[in-house]
Amino acid sequence: MSTKKAGQIGVLLILSLTVLGAQSAERPDESDEDEWEKIFDVDEYDETWLVGDTRNDGRTDYALKRDDQGRKWFEAVDFNGDGLMDDFYLYSSGTLVRQELDTNFDGAIDLWIHMHDGVRVAGYERDTNYDGTIDLVKEFGDS
Ligand SMILES: [Ca+2]
Ligand SMILES: [Ca+2]
């Protein structure tokens, strides 16, 4: 494929993404945890996401959604490349507020990390035996 042809396809893709983006304009102004879409199956990410294939194996392993200001909003990573996202990031106004991880890759979140100021870990919750119930809570002081 020539570079020119690839460029044309790229433009067409951007145009179609723009149209689809305009159709799904219903977005809250601020990140709302209830609205946090955690999609595990990498094949279920639609055109509202920017997806990447960092392993170059033809399969999505990274997805990013930006808010209407262009800031990071949701981010997901398939860390072990098994086709299920296992590392989720939630941002508010471009600042990381929470990270949720599936540390044993069974398709269920078992570690919730709460951030303070986007940099410091404010605390975390764990489901250490992977039964779906949080059994370890750690909160760090604000000092
Ligand atoms: Ca995975
Ligand atoms: Ca898990």
pLDDT reported for residue 26: 45
pLDDT reported for residue 141: 77
Domain of 124 in residue numbering reads as 31-139
Q: Quick check: is 71 in a domain? A: yes
pLDDT reported for residue 96: 97
Q: Say how many domains are in the chain.
A: 1
pTM of the full structure: 0.74
Q: Quick check: is 6 in a domain? A: no
pLDDT reported for residue 101: 98
Nearest ligand atom owner, CA of 103: 2
Q: Quick check: is 40 in a domain? A: yes
131 C-alpha to ligand 2 centroid (Å): 9
96 C-alpha to ligand 2 centroid (Å): 21
103 C-alpha to ligand 2 centroid (Å): 5
Q: Quick check: is 4 in a domain? A: no
pLDDT reported for residue 11: 60
- Report how far apart, in Å, the C-alpha atoms of 92 and of each of 27, 30, 32, 106 are: 13, 6, 8, 27
| pLDDT averaged per 10 residues in sequence order, the chain, 143 residues | 63 55 45 73 96 95 96 97 97 96 97 95 98 96 65
Q: Quick check: is 105 in a domain? A: yes
